[in-house]
Chain A
Amino acid sequence: AQSVTQLGSHVSVSEGALVLLRCNYSSSVPPYLFWYVQYPNQGLQLLLKYTTGATLVKGINGFEAEFKKSETSFHLTKPSAHMSDAAEYFCAVRLYGNNRLAFGKGNQVVVIP
């Protein structure tokens, strides 16, 4: 069964520093992978997704992620953190054969001024 693992529930980063959120997946078939952001008491907003093609995916708000099949990873990065990046981030994998999503546990990002 497909699943994703996100380690470290809370991530603190200084303003202007690199943001790195790790996501590893398990899937017996080529995965479709997603990163979502959630602000307090709101739904999820798609940051970026990988389906096929180019393994380096650029998303909104300056985020990007690289699909590495050999490492079964889809880590999210942003070169320079902004205060507005403080939010919860979820990695997700689409379950094979349908478009249900399985989510990781999430990373709460705190940006330190």
Chain B
Amino acid sequence: GAVVSQHPSRVICKSGTSVKIECRSLDFQATTMFWYRQFPKQSLMLMATSNEGSKATYEQGVEKDKFLINHASLTLSTLTVTSAHPEDSSFYICSASPGTGTNTEAFFGQGTRLTVV
């Protein structure tokens, strides 16, 4: 199956700093990438959808200036958490899809555990 690599798997940062998370599709071109956030013992909440070469579409309630998403190429999307606070601590998961059709599967990265201290 297709492989999506997410890096880093774990990161600890100080409050007020920014941290970047990378999501790469290793063996296919990802037209669309998705960023999810997962709180402990809870489900995944879609944060935003990014299409290569265009601005990301954020879900309601997600601060676009706080969570910067860049999808500069067909194999790489990045999520930057700016001015991180302890409440941003969470598990962030990306997924990538090789197409936009409704029968196109999305493949998930391994996730990134962010801890803000």
A residues at B contact (CB < 8 Å)? 9, 32, 36, 41-46, 49, 51, 90, 94, 96-106, 108
Chain B proximity of A59: nearest CB distance (Å): 13
- The reply to whether A43 and B6 form a contact with Cβ atoms under 8 Å apart is yes
| Complexed CA–CA distance, A43 and B103 (Å) | 21
* Residue pair A98, B100 in contact (C-beta under 8 Å): yes
Contact of A105 among B42, B95, B101 (CB under 8 A): B42
Q: Are B108 and A99 in contact (CB under 8 A)?
A: no
CB of B46 within 8 A of chain A? Answer: yes
Contact A99 B110, beta carbon cutoff 8 Å: no
Complex alpha-carbon distance, A102 and B110, angstroms: 19
Q: CA separation between A9 and B93, bound complex, in Å?
A: 21
Q: Is the CB of B49 within 8 A of A100?
A: yes
Q: How far is the CB of A7 from chain B (nearest CB, A)?
A: 13
Given contacts A42-B110, A94-B102, A99-B100, contact A106 B42 (CB under 8 A): yes
Residue from A42, A97, A99 within 8 A of B106 (CB atoms): A99
Q: B residues near A, CB below 8 A?
A: 4, 6, 9, 32, 34, 41-44, 46, 49, 91, 93, 95, 97, 99-111, 113
Asked if residues B102 and A44 are in contact (CB atoms below 8 Å), the reply is no
What chain B residues lie within 8 Å of A108 (beta carbons)? 41
Q: With contacts A51-B103, A101-B44 known, what are 9 further pairs, Cβ within 8 A? A: A32-B102, A42-B111, A43-B4, A44-B95, A44-B108, A45-B108, A99-B102, A99-B104, A106-B42
B43:A43 contact, CB within 8 angstroms: no
In the complex, what residues of B have CB within 8 A of residue A105's CB? 42-43
Known A44-B93, A105-B43, A106-B43; judge A32-B103 contact (CB<8 A). yes
Q: Which B-chain residue is minimally distant from A45 (CB atoms)? A: B108
Q: In the complex, which residues of chain A have a beta carbon less than 8 angstroms from the beta carbon of B6?
A: 43
Q: Can you list 29 pairs linking A and B with CB atoms under 8 Å apart?
A: A9-B41, A32-B102, A36-B108, A41-B9, A41-B111, A41-B113, A42-B110, A42-B111, A43-B109, A43-B110, A44-B95, A46-B105, A46-B107, A51-B103, A98-B32, A98-B100, A99-B99, A99-B101, A99-B106, A100-B46, A100-B49, A101-B34, A101-B46, A102-B46, A103-B43, A103-B44, A105-B43, A106-B42, A108-B41
